[in-house]
Amino acid sequence: MSIELNETHDAGLRSWVDSANTGSTDFPIQNLPYGVFRRIGSHDAFHLGVAIGDQILDLNAAHASGIFSTHQGKQFDLALLSDKLNGLMDLGSAAWTALRLTLSRALRAGASQQTTLQACLLPQDQAEYALPAQIGDYTDFYTSIYHATTVGKLFRPDNPLLPNYKWVPIGYHGRSSSIGVSGQQFHRPVGQTMPPAATEPVFGPAKRMDYEMEVGIFVGNGNAAGERIAIGQSEEHVFGLCLLNDWSARDMQAWEYQPLGPFLAKNFATTISPWVVTLEALAPYRKAWTRDPADPQPLPYLESEQLRQSGAFDIELEVLLQTAAMRKDGIAPQRLSLSNFRHSYWTVSQLITHHTVNGCKLRAGDLLGSGTQSGPTPEEAGSLLELSAGGKKPLTLANGEQRTFIEDGDCIVMRGRAQKPGTARIGFGEVSGTLLPARALS
Protein backbone atom coordinates (compact mmCIF):
# COMPACT_ATOMS: atom_id res chain seq x y z
CA MET A 1 0.00 0.00 0.00
CA SER A 2 1.24 3.47 -0.85
CA ILE A 3 -0.61 6.46 0.64
CA GLU A 4 -0.23 9.35 -1.76
CA LEU A 5 0.20 12.91 -0.55
CA ASN A 6 -2.99 14.91 -1.05
CA GLU A 7 -4.58 18.21 -0.06
CA THR A 8 -4.79 17.18 3.62
CA HIS A 9 -0.97 17.16 3.80
CA ASP A 10 -0.50 20.71 2.48
CA ALA A 11 1.93 22.35 4.92
CA GLY A 12 0.30 25.71 4.19
CA LEU A 13 -3.10 24.72 5.57
CA ARG A 14 -4.34 26.72 8.55
CA SER A 15 -7.23 26.00 10.88
CA TRP A 16 -9.85 28.29 12.40
CA VAL A 17 -8.77 26.64 15.67
CA ASP A 18 -5.93 29.10 16.36
CA SER A 19 -3.92 26.77 18.62
CA ALA A 20 -3.48 24.38 15.67
CA ASN A 21 -1.39 27.00 13.83
CA THR A 22 1.46 27.59 16.30
CA GLY A 23 4.03 25.38 14.60
CA SER A 24 4.89 23.78 17.93
CA THR A 25 1.66 21.90 18.54
CA ASP A 26 1.55 18.13 18.12
CA PHE A 27 -1.87 18.44 16.55
CA PRO A 28 -1.97 20.76 13.53
CA ILE A 29 -4.70 20.34 10.94
CA GLN A 30 -2.40 18.02 8.98
CA ASN A 31 -2.52 15.46 11.84
CA LEU A 32 -6.11 14.88 13.08
CA PRO A 33 -5.51 11.84 15.32
CA TYR A 34 -8.39 9.93 16.94
CA GLY A 35 -9.09 9.20 20.59
CA VAL A 36 -11.87 8.56 23.12
CA PHE A 37 -12.68 11.22 25.73
CA ARG A 38 -15.21 12.90 28.02
CA ARG A 39 -15.24 16.00 30.19
CA ILE A 40 -13.02 15.37 33.22
CA GLY A 41 -14.84 14.46 36.42
CA SER A 42 -18.15 13.98 34.64
CA HIS A 43 -20.31 10.90 34.29
CA ASP A 44 -20.91 11.60 30.61
CA ALA A 45 -20.60 8.85 28.06
CA PHE A 46 -17.23 8.64 26.30
CA HIS A 47 -17.23 9.94 22.72
CA LEU A 48 -14.88 9.65 19.78
CA GLY A 49 -12.80 12.76 19.30
CA VAL A 50 -10.18 14.28 17.01
CA ALA A 51 -7.31 16.36 18.41
CA ILE A 52 -6.89 19.78 16.79
CA GLY A 53 -4.45 22.18 18.45
CA ASP A 54 -5.23 22.22 22.16
CA GLN A 55 -8.86 21.25 21.51
CA ILE A 56 -10.87 18.09 20.87
CA LEU A 57 -13.56 17.92 18.22
CA ASP A 58 -16.40 15.77 19.55
CA LEU A 59 -17.37 13.50 16.63
CA ASN A 60 -20.69 12.63 18.21
CA ALA A 61 -21.67 16.30 18.38
CA ALA A 62 -20.18 16.97 14.94
CA HIS A 63 -22.25 14.11 13.53
CA ALA A 64 -25.41 15.65 15.01
CA SER A 65 -24.54 18.93 13.28
CA GLY A 66 -24.80 17.24 9.90
CA ILE A 67 -21.27 17.79 8.58
CA PHE A 68 -20.96 14.11 7.63
CA SER A 69 -24.07 14.04 5.43
CA THR A 70 -22.04 12.90 2.42
CA HIS A 71 -20.93 9.78 4.31
CA GLN A 72 -23.80 7.41 3.82
CA GLY A 73 -24.57 4.23 5.67
CA LYS A 74 -25.74 2.93 9.03
CA GLN A 75 -22.34 1.37 9.70
CA PHE A 76 -20.64 4.76 9.39
CA ASP A 77 -23.20 6.41 11.69
CA LEU A 78 -22.83 3.71 14.33
CA ALA A 79 -19.03 3.94 14.14
CA LEU A 80 -18.98 7.68 14.84
CA LEU A 81 -21.55 7.45 17.62
CA SER A 82 -19.69 4.68 19.44
CA ASP A 83 -17.54 5.00 22.56
CA LYS A 84 -14.67 3.04 20.97
CA LEU A 85 -12.82 3.30 17.66
CA ASN A 86 -13.38 -0.34 16.65
CA GLY A 87 -16.32 0.42 14.36
CA LEU A 88 -14.39 3.13 12.54
CA MET A 89 -11.34 0.89 12.35
CA ASP A 90 -13.43 -1.84 10.73
CA LEU A 91 -14.68 0.45 7.92
CA GLY A 92 -11.39 0.19 6.05
CA SER A 93 -8.88 2.53 4.47
CA ALA A 94 -11.18 4.14 1.87
CA ALA A 95 -13.58 5.26 4.62
CA TRP A 96 -10.70 6.53 6.77
CA THR A 97 -9.38 8.64 3.89
CA ALA A 98 -12.81 10.08 3.11
CA LEU A 99 -13.45 11.00 6.76
CA ARG A 100 -10.02 12.63 7.08
CA LEU A 101 -10.75 14.78 4.02
CA THR A 102 -14.14 15.88 5.41
CA LEU A 103 -12.59 16.78 8.77
CA SER A 104 -9.71 18.64 7.13
CA ARG A 105 -12.02 20.76 5.00
CA ALA A 106 -14.38 21.50 7.90
CA LEU A 107 -11.56 22.60 10.21
CA ARG A 108 -9.70 24.81 7.72
CA ALA A 109 -9.61 28.56 8.09
CA GLY A 110 -12.61 30.04 6.33
CA ALA A 111 -14.68 26.85 6.43
CA SER A 112 -18.43 27.40 6.44
CA GLN A 113 -18.79 24.86 9.26
CA GLN A 114 -16.78 26.94 11.75
CA THR A 115 -19.74 28.42 13.61
CA THR A 116 -21.44 25.04 13.88
CA LEU A 117 -18.35 23.13 14.99
CA GLN A 118 -17.09 25.63 17.55
CA ALA A 119 -19.78 24.33 19.88
CA CYS A 120 -18.40 20.79 19.38
CA LEU A 121 -14.96 21.59 20.88
CA LEU A 122 -13.62 20.77 24.33
CA PRO A 123 -10.19 21.96 25.57
CA GLN A 124 -7.84 19.02 26.03
CA ASP A 125 -6.98 20.13 29.56
CA GLN A 126 -10.64 19.66 30.48
CA ALA A 127 -10.81 16.09 29.19
CA GLU A 128 -10.12 12.61 30.51
CA TYR A 129 -9.42 9.67 28.24
CA ALA A 130 -10.28 6.01 27.86
CA LEU A 131 -8.52 3.36 25.80
CA PRO A 132 -9.05 4.27 22.15
CA ALA A 133 -10.37 0.81 21.27
CA GLN A 134 -11.59 -2.43 22.74
CA ILE A 135 -8.33 -4.38 22.48
CA GLY A 136 -9.13 -8.02 21.88
CA ASP A 137 -5.58 -9.28 21.48
CA TYR A 138 -2.14 -7.81 22.09
CA THR A 139 1.13 -9.00 20.55
CA ASP A 140 4.49 -7.51 21.47
CA PHE A 141 7.36 -7.75 19.00
CA TYR A 142 11.13 -7.29 19.33
CA THR A 143 12.07 -5.20 16.31
CA SER A 144 15.14 -3.20 17.40
CA ILE A 145 18.32 -5.10 16.68
CA TYR A 146 20.23 -2.58 18.81
CA HIS A 147 18.05 -3.33 21.83
CA ALA A 148 18.10 -7.07 21.17
CA THR A 149 21.89 -7.16 20.93
CA THR A 150 22.52 -5.01 24.00
CA VAL A 151 20.08 -6.93 26.17
CA GLY A 152 21.37 -10.21 24.79
CA LYS A 153 24.87 -9.31 25.95
CA LEU A 154 23.51 -8.77 29.47
CA PHE A 155 21.49 -12.00 29.65
CA ARG A 156 23.54 -14.22 27.29
CA PRO A 157 27.06 -12.78 26.93
CA ASP A 158 28.23 -15.86 25.04
CA ASN A 159 25.35 -15.72 22.52
CA PRO A 160 23.74 -12.26 22.57
CA LEU A 161 21.74 -12.36 19.32
CA LEU A 162 20.06 -15.67 18.59
CA PRO A 163 20.33 -16.78 14.94
CA ASN A 164 16.60 -16.60 14.19
CA TYR A 165 16.42 -12.87 14.98
CA LYS A 166 17.57 -11.78 11.52
CA TRP A 167 15.19 -14.15 9.76
CA VAL A 168 11.88 -13.88 11.58
CA PRO A 169 10.06 -11.07 13.45
CA ILE A 170 10.10 -12.29 17.06
CA GLY A 171 7.01 -11.67 19.18
CA TYR A 172 4.94 -12.97 22.06
CA HIS A 173 1.29 -12.67 23.02
CA GLY A 174 0.75 -10.19 25.86
CA ARG A 175 -2.12 -9.47 28.20
CA SER A 176 -4.68 -7.01 26.80
CA SER A 177 -6.52 -6.73 30.15
CA SER A 178 -3.51 -4.94 31.67
CA ILE A 179 -3.33 -2.19 29.02
CA GLY A 180 -4.21 1.27 30.31
CA VAL A 181 -4.31 4.76 28.87
CA SER A 182 -1.84 7.53 29.71
CA GLY A 183 -1.93 8.42 33.39
CA GLN A 184 -2.03 4.76 34.40
CA GLN A 185 -0.77 4.04 37.92
CA PHE A 186 0.09 0.53 39.04
CA HIS A 187 1.69 -1.23 41.98
CA ARG A 188 5.13 -2.78 41.84
CA PRO A 189 4.55 -6.41 40.87
CA VAL A 190 5.51 -9.38 43.02
CA GLY A 191 6.72 -12.78 41.91
CA GLN A 192 9.68 -15.13 41.83
CA THR A 193 13.25 -13.95 41.26
CA MET A 194 16.61 -15.69 41.51
CA PRO A 195 19.08 -13.52 43.47
CA PRO A 196 22.74 -13.55 42.39
CA ALA A 197 24.62 -16.62 43.67
CA ALA A 198 21.42 -18.09 45.16
CA THR A 199 20.44 -21.71 44.59
CA GLU A 200 16.69 -21.24 45.08
CA PRO A 201 14.30 -18.47 43.98
CA VAL A 202 12.69 -16.04 46.40
CA PHE A 203 9.21 -14.53 46.34
CA GLY A 204 8.54 -10.83 46.79
CA PRO A 205 8.38 -7.43 45.05
CA ALA A 206 10.41 -7.03 41.88
CA LYS A 207 13.53 -4.92 42.41
CA ARG A 208 14.59 -4.13 38.84
CA MET A 209 11.65 -2.23 37.38
CA ASP A 210 12.03 -0.81 33.89
CA TYR A 211 10.20 0.83 30.99
CA GLU A 212 10.38 0.11 27.27
CA MET A 213 9.85 2.86 24.69
CA GLU A 214 7.69 1.33 21.95
CA VAL A 215 5.34 2.22 19.13
CA GLY A 216 1.87 0.69 19.24
CA ILE A 217 0.21 -0.44 16.00
CA PHE A 218 -3.60 -0.56 15.94
CA VAL A 219 -5.13 -3.02 13.50
CA GLY A 220 -7.96 -1.66 11.37
CA ASN A 221 -10.13 -4.03 9.40
CA GLY A 222 -8.97 -7.59 10.01
CA ASN A 223 -8.68 -10.73 7.96
CA ALA A 224 -10.72 -13.93 7.88
CA ALA A 225 -9.35 -16.93 9.74
CA GLY A 226 -6.99 -18.84 7.46
CA GLU A 227 -6.36 -15.88 5.17
CA ARG A 228 -2.93 -14.30 4.84
CA ILE A 229 -2.37 -10.58 4.48
CA ALA A 230 0.21 -10.06 1.75
CA ILE A 231 3.00 -7.54 2.26
CA GLY A 232 1.55 -5.29 -0.44
CA GLN A 233 -1.80 -5.01 1.34
CA SER A 234 -0.63 -5.10 4.95
CA GLU A 235 -0.87 -1.36 5.67
CA GLU A 236 -4.45 -1.28 4.41
CA HIS A 237 -5.16 -3.17 7.65
CA VAL A 238 -3.37 -0.65 9.91
CA PHE A 239 -5.56 2.10 11.36
CA GLY A 240 -2.75 4.02 13.03
CA LEU A 241 0.09 4.27 15.52
CA CYS A 242 0.34 5.32 19.17
CA LEU A 243 3.03 5.45 21.85
CA LEU A 244 3.42 2.42 24.09
CA ASN A 245 5.29 1.80 27.35
CA ASP A 246 5.87 -1.90 27.95
CA TRP A 247 6.66 -1.94 31.67
CA SER A 248 9.05 -4.73 32.65
CA ALA A 249 10.26 -6.42 35.84
CA ARG A 250 13.77 -7.33 34.73
CA ASP A 251 14.67 -9.60 37.65
CA MET A 252 11.47 -11.60 37.21
CA GLN A 253 12.09 -11.68 33.47
CA ALA A 254 15.62 -13.06 33.84
CA TRP A 255 14.32 -15.98 35.93
CA GLU A 256 11.22 -16.92 33.95
CA TYR A 257 11.79 -16.05 30.30
CA GLN A 258 13.51 -19.27 29.23
CA PRO A 259 12.30 -21.43 27.54
CA LEU A 260 8.89 -19.92 26.72
CA GLY A 261 9.46 -16.18 27.00
CA PRO A 262 7.97 -13.30 29.04
CA PHE A 263 5.07 -13.94 31.41
CA LEU A 264 4.60 -12.27 34.82
CA ALA A 265 7.51 -9.92 34.10
CA LYS A 266 5.42 -8.22 31.41
CA ASN A 267 1.71 -8.82 31.97
CA PHE A 268 1.01 -6.48 34.93
CA ALA A 269 0.86 -3.14 33.05
CA THR A 270 1.21 -1.63 29.59
CA THR A 271 0.45 2.05 28.99
CA ILE A 272 -0.51 3.66 25.68
CA SER A 273 -1.09 7.24 24.56
CA PRO A 274 -4.70 8.38 24.12
CA TRP A 275 -4.25 9.57 20.53
CA VAL A 276 -3.93 7.28 17.49
CA VAL A 277 -2.12 8.91 14.57
CA THR A 278 -3.20 7.55 11.20
CA LEU A 279 -0.74 6.24 8.63
CA GLU A 280 -2.14 8.81 6.21
CA ALA A 281 -1.09 11.65 8.52
CA LEU A 282 2.41 10.16 8.60
CA ALA A 283 2.75 9.86 4.82
CA PRO A 284 5.20 12.79 4.53
CA TYR A 285 7.51 11.00 6.96
CA ARG A 286 7.91 7.71 5.12
CA LYS A 287 11.52 6.63 4.68
CA ALA A 288 13.32 4.07 2.60
CA TRP A 289 13.85 0.82 4.50
CA THR A 290 17.15 -0.96 4.20
CA ARG A 291 18.75 -4.12 5.46
CA ASP A 292 22.51 -4.45 5.91
CA PRO A 293 23.76 -6.33 2.81
CA ALA A 294 25.81 -8.56 5.11
CA ASP A 295 22.65 -9.71 6.91
CA PRO A 296 20.13 -12.25 5.62
CA GLN A 297 17.59 -10.53 3.43
CA PRO A 298 13.87 -11.04 4.17
CA LEU A 299 12.21 -14.14 2.80
CA PRO A 300 10.01 -13.36 -0.24
CA TYR A 301 6.75 -13.08 1.74
CA LEU A 302 8.34 -10.26 3.82
CA GLU A 303 9.88 -8.43 0.86
CA SER A 304 8.60 -5.88 -1.68
CA GLU A 305 9.80 -2.96 -3.74
CA GLN A 306 7.37 -0.63 -1.96
CA LEU A 307 8.77 -1.77 1.39
CA ARG A 308 12.27 -0.82 0.27
CA GLN A 309 11.13 2.57 -1.02
CA SER A 310 9.03 3.75 1.91
CA GLY A 311 8.53 1.05 4.54
CA ALA A 312 10.08 2.94 7.47
CA PHE A 313 8.73 5.89 9.50
CA ASP A 314 10.83 8.85 10.66
CA ILE A 315 9.38 9.33 14.16
CA GLU A 316 11.44 10.72 17.05
CA LEU A 317 10.84 8.90 20.34
CA GLU A 318 11.69 10.64 23.62
CA VAL A 319 11.74 9.22 27.17
CA LEU A 320 11.69 11.41 30.30
CA LEU A 321 11.70 10.66 34.03
CA GLN A 322 10.14 12.63 36.87
CA THR A 323 10.84 11.34 40.36
CA ALA A 324 8.57 11.95 43.35
CA ALA A 325 11.13 14.44 44.69
CA MET A 326 11.15 16.30 41.37
CA ARG A 327 7.36 16.58 41.42
CA LYS A 328 7.45 17.86 44.99
CA ASP A 329 10.00 20.52 44.04
CA GLY A 330 8.21 21.51 40.83
CA ILE A 331 11.01 20.18 38.59
CA ALA A 332 9.95 19.15 35.09
CA PRO A 333 10.64 15.63 33.83
CA GLN A 334 14.23 15.07 32.66
CA ARG A 335 15.05 13.53 29.31
CA LEU A 336 16.72 10.11 29.46
CA SER A 337 16.96 9.24 25.78
CA LEU A 338 15.96 10.20 22.24
CA SER A 339 15.65 7.56 19.54
CA ASN A 340 13.82 7.10 16.23
CA PHE A 341 11.41 4.53 14.85
CA ARG A 342 13.29 4.50 11.52
CA HIS A 343 15.97 2.30 13.15
CA SER A 344 13.53 -0.61 13.45
CA TYR A 345 14.90 -3.86 11.98
CA TRP A 346 11.40 -5.04 11.04
CA THR A 347 8.68 -2.72 9.68
CA VAL A 348 4.98 -2.23 10.41
CA SER A 349 3.99 -3.97 7.19
CA GLN A 350 6.27 -6.94 7.88
CA LEU A 351 4.78 -7.41 11.34
CA ILE A 352 1.22 -7.53 9.98
CA THR A 353 2.15 -9.94 7.21
CA HIS A 354 4.16 -12.24 9.44
CA HIS A 355 1.41 -12.27 12.10
CA THR A 356 -1.09 -13.64 9.57
CA VAL A 357 1.10 -15.84 7.38
CA ASN A 358 0.00 -18.93 9.30
CA GLY A 359 -3.68 -17.99 8.97
CA CYS A 360 -3.98 -16.09 12.27
CA LYS A 361 -7.06 -13.87 12.36
CA LEU A 362 -6.56 -10.21 13.27
CA ARG A 363 -9.52 -8.07 14.31
CA ALA A 364 -10.22 -4.36 14.44
CA GLY A 365 -8.72 -2.95 17.63
CA ASP A 366 -6.02 -5.58 18.03
CA LEU A 367 -2.75 -4.00 19.18
CA LEU A 368 0.82 -4.82 18.19
CA GLY A 369 3.81 -3.48 20.09
CA SER A 370 6.97 -2.74 18.14
CA GLY A 371 9.33 -3.80 20.90
CA THR A 372 11.80 -1.42 22.53
CA GLN A 373 12.99 1.19 20.04
CA SER A 374 16.69 1.70 20.71
CA GLY A 375 19.06 3.33 18.25
CA PRO A 376 22.69 2.67 17.33
CA THR A 377 24.23 4.99 19.96
CA PRO A 378 24.10 4.55 23.78
CA GLU A 379 22.04 7.71 24.32
CA GLU A 380 19.34 6.27 22.04
CA ALA A 381 18.62 3.32 24.34
CA GLY A 382 14.91 2.77 24.92
CA SER A 383 15.16 1.24 28.41
CA LEU A 384 16.93 1.78 31.73
CA LEU A 385 18.34 -1.72 31.46
CA GLU A 386 20.45 -0.49 28.57
CA LEU A 387 21.16 3.03 29.86
CA SER A 388 22.45 1.68 33.20
CA ALA A 389 24.29 -1.30 31.66
CA GLY A 390 22.16 -3.76 33.57
CA GLY A 391 22.25 -1.70 36.76
CA LYS A 392 26.06 -1.34 36.85
CA LYS A 393 26.21 2.34 35.84
CA PRO A 394 23.73 4.54 37.72
CA LEU A 395 22.30 7.58 35.95
CA THR A 396 22.70 10.84 37.87
CA LEU A 397 19.78 13.22 37.46
CA ALA A 398 20.01 17.01 37.47
CA ASN A 399 18.76 17.20 41.07
CA GLY A 400 21.45 14.75 42.26
CA GLU A 401 19.25 11.67 42.50
CA GLN A 402 20.51 8.47 40.89
CA ARG A 403 18.68 5.68 39.09
CA THR A 404 19.62 2.26 37.85
CA PHE A 405 16.00 1.10 37.71
CA ILE A 406 12.63 2.74 38.41
CA GLU A 407 11.83 3.58 42.03
CA ASP A 408 8.40 3.85 43.68
CA GLY A 409 6.79 7.18 42.83
CA ASP A 410 8.71 7.62 39.57
CA CYS A 411 6.71 8.78 36.57
CA ILE A 412 7.89 7.87 33.07
CA VAL A 413 6.83 10.18 30.25
CA MET A 414 7.20 9.32 26.56
CA ARG A 415 6.68 11.61 23.60
CA GLY A 416 6.75 11.09 19.85
CA ARG A 417 6.86 13.44 16.88
CA ALA A 418 7.64 13.51 13.19
CA GLN A 419 9.11 16.76 11.95
CA LYS A 420 11.28 18.14 9.17
CA PRO A 421 11.59 21.42 7.26
CA GLY A 422 8.79 22.11 4.82
CA THR A 423 6.18 19.87 6.43
CA ALA A 424 3.80 20.13 9.37
CA ARG A 425 4.93 18.56 12.63
CA ILE A 426 2.92 15.42 13.37
CA GLY A 427 2.94 14.61 17.09
CA PHE A 428 1.58 11.84 19.28
CA GLY A 429 1.12 13.85 22.47
CA GLU A 430 2.53 11.89 25.38
CA VAL A 431 2.04 8.76 27.42
CA SER A 432 2.79 8.81 31.14
CA GLY A 433 2.64 6.19 33.87
CA THR A 434 3.59 6.03 37.54
CA LEU A 435 4.95 3.16 39.64
CA LEU A 436 3.35 2.76 43.08
CA PRO A 437 4.74 0.70 45.99
CA ALA A 438 3.99 -3.01 46.03
CA ARG A 439 0.83 -4.06 47.84
CA ALA A 440 1.45 -5.68 51.23
CA LEU A 441 1.92 -9.44 51.03
CA SER A 442 -0.75 -11.36 52.93
Looking at 9, 47, 63, 147, which residue is catalytic?
147
CA distances for 143 relative to 193, 223, 357, 433, angstroms: 26, 23, 18, 23
- What is 331-370 written as a DSSP string? PPPEEEEEEEGGG-SS-HHHHHHHHHTT-PPP-TT-EEE-
Q: Is 147 a catalytic residue?
A: yes
- Which distant-in-sequence residues (6+ apart) come within 8 Å of 415 by Cβ? 243, 317, 318, 320, 427, 428, 429, 430
- Which distant-in-sequence residues (6+ apart) come within 8 Å of 428 by Cβ? 26, 33, 241, 242, 243, 273, 275, 277, 315, 415, 416, 417
Sign of CA dihedral 123, 424, 413, 246: positive
- What is 288-321 written as a DSSP string? -----TTSPPPPGGG--HHHHHH-EE--EEEEEE
CA distances for 230 relative to 307, 365, 417, angstroms: 12, 20, 29
CA distance 231 to 306: 9
CA distance 58 to 52: 11
State the catalytic residues. Answer: 147
